[in-house]
Amino acid sequence: MTHPPELEGLRTLHDTALREAARKDQLLELVESIAGVGHWRLDLETQVLTWSDEIYRIRGVEKDDVDLSYDAAVDFYTPEGRAKVAEAIAHVTATGEDIELQLQMLRPSGELRDIQLKSRCQTDDRGRVVALFGVLQDITDQLRGLKEADESRRRYQLLADHVKDVIARSNVKGEIFYISPSIQALTGFAPDELLGRSMIPDVHPDDVAAFRDAYGEVIRGVRAAGLPVRYRVRHKDGRWIWVEANPSMVRDGAGQPEFIDVLRDVTEQVALEAELTRARDAADKAAQAQSDFLANMSHELRTPLTAVIGYAGILGARHELAPEPKRFVDKIRSASQALLATINDVLDFSKLEAGQVEIRPRPVEVAGVVEGVINVLEEQARARNLALIARAGMRTPERLMLDPDRLRQVLMNLVGNAVKFTDAGSVSVFADYDHEAQALCVRVVDTGGGLDSAQQRQLFRRFSQVDSTPTRRHGGTGLGLAICKGLVEAMGGRIGVESAPGAGTTFWFVVPGPPAALATAA
């Protein structure tokens, strides 16, 4: 059956309109799903509701499970919410005004959600309100976020208001727009007196350059995090106080840069540091004066004492001298030599403390240095019935780059001490070489009575002796081992001791010394 052309045209328009309406409905549903907002319509005469699909999702229900009536719809709200809705509908029916409510909705699962409801009136030709059209949005997550942000803000505000350090926020021009109440205890100014002011005028003129440099580095992002800057600021009463600041740069919610600063009062700390610096300088000067005095006095004493020893030697060598005067001359020479050794110790130690000891490495035959020390002390060892032994490791190079004078001085002291404090047995000197570390290793081993741990702790200290009683058998200044330690460390090495009561004592030291041939080539 065929239809007139006019009817076919109307059918085509009708179908097109249906398709366009369906397309718009799909588009509206998509928009609502993205925005999380659903629309609804309530016919006031029939009390029938129509919902968009998004409202079903908001309420957590399926389409087939919902009775689209007013009473069924308001049952989703809490009792307080139902009362608000009834009051609002009565008001809008009477006045035609729009409504906007914030309610709580209970889903079938028992979950409580916060809902925002907005409505506009639909009227007929006579202006009567016949229906309400509105939107529904779940704002639970937004409210939770706002609440958490507000709680966080209040916590940080509480912290900032009660912390002793001053917390300040300012723009890149240095204008303060927040400063914590503790600023009043620091500067005497109330926070309100500083808001909107620039910090620069309150900084001491001598510190403005450092202040600008520090904050400029923060702006350029080249200042190390946590690096403080110190400067003086003016107190309300006119005096200057030192503060330590830790500026950093952040961006606010709008993306604008701002400074966040934490300041604390370090006036007392700066004063204490200055006092400590003055005390240190005074101590350094006193120590230097003492070292200079000891060095000068040692020279002044050693010069005439050398003459005494020399003339005593000449006088003792005269054949016509009677036995008794000759004995007196020998005692004079012996006492003078002991006094000279003491003066030399004081002179060496004063040089070490003053940092005036120079280490001059040159090619040295280590075996020759050790042999020379043995030869000097051999007669003293023989007088005490001690065997004096020297041994060198097979791997020791013939010549090393060392300071022979300092090496000899350390060996003389260690071997001399071993001979002095050993009553029977032997004193041995062992020299070996560590090729990997390029270092000379020396051990001086005696068969004496040994030392306990308390006695070992006394070693290498200035003016310290193992036997410090008035009846001690051996004299000395107590500087020998301290000098050895200073000389070994000045050569870049280390020194130590190993001992036990009744087991003898071993003093050892290690000093760097490359083979002379390698050093010459370098």
| Residue pointed to by tokens 């961006």 | 251
| Lookup: tokens for 442 | 């020396």
Q: How far apart are CA 175 and CA 187, in angstroms?
A: 17
CA distances from 47 to 43, 107, 146, 356 (A): 5, 22, 36, 107
**3 state SS of 71:** helix
* Of 431, 407, 414, 416, the residue nearest 482 (C-alpha): 414
| Lookup: tokens for 147 | 């609440």
Top-tier CATH class for 17-140: alpha beta
* Of 421, 435, 457, 434, the residue nearest 509 (C-alpha): 434
Q: Count Cβ neighbours within 10 Å for each residue of 355-364 and write b for 16 or more, e otherwise.
A: eebeeebeeb
To the nearest 10 degrees (0 to 180), the angle between helices 404-421 and 366-383 is 20
- The H or E element containing residue 259 is strand 257-265
Q: What's residue 255's pLDDT?
A: 76
CA distances from 415 to 146, 376, 388, 480, 513 (A): 83, 10, 9, 11, 21
CA distances from 492 to 206, 358, 485 (A): 44, 12, 11
Q: What's residue 193's pLDDT?
A: 87
Residues 294 and 350: beta-carbon distance below 8 Å: yes
CA quadruple 466, 469, 474, 477: dihedral sign: positive
Per domain, the residue ranges of the chain are: 17-140, 163-265, 272-354, 362-521
36 CB-near residues (< 8 Å, 6+ apart): 54, 58, 137, 138
| Lookup: tokens for 467 | 């036997």
Q: How far apart are CA 40 and CA 448, in angstroms?
A: 108
Beta bridge partners of 38: 136
Beta bridge partners of 115: 103, 138
Q: What is the phi/psi pair of residue 345, to 5°?
A: -60, -45
Sequential pLDDT tens for the chain (522 residues)? 555 665 666 666 656 655 665 566 566 566 566 667 787 788 878 877 777 777 778 777 776 666 666 777 777 788 888 888 888 878 877 787 888 888 888 887 878 888 888 888 888 888 788 888 888 888 888 888 777 767 766 766 666 555 678 888 888 888 888 888 888 888 888 888 888 888 777 889 998 888 888 888 888 888 876 688 888 989 989 899 998 888 888 887 677 888 888 888 888 888 888 888 898 888 888 777 766 776 676 667 767 777 777 877 787 777 777 888 777 877 787 677 667 666 666 666 666 666 666 788 889 898 888 888 888 788 888 888 988 888 877 777 888 999 888 888 888 889 888 988 888 898 999 999 998 889 999 999 998 888 888 888 888 776 555 554 433 444 445 677 888 888 888 889 999 999 888 888 999 999 998 888 755 444
**CATH (residue range 163-265):** 3.30.450.20
Q: Which DSSP string do the residues of 286-299 spell out, in sequence order?
A: HHHHHHHHHHHHHH
**CATH (residue range 272-354):** 1.10.287.130
Q: What's residue 508's pLDDT?
A: 92
Q: How far apart are CA 38 and CA 59, in angstroms?
A: 10
**CATH (residue range 362-521):** 3.30.565.10
Q: Count Cβ neighbours within 10 Å for each residue of 162-193 and write b for 16 or more, e otherwise.
A: eeebbbbbbeeebebeebbebbbebbebebee
* Residues 285, 290, 291: CA angle, nearest 5 degrees: 100
**3 state SS of 342:** helix
Q: How far apart are CA 169 and CA 176, in angstroms?
A: 6
Q: How far apart are CA 370 and CA 377, in angstroms?
A: 11
| Residue pointed to by tokens 């002291």 | 413
163-265 with 362-521: one CATH topology? no
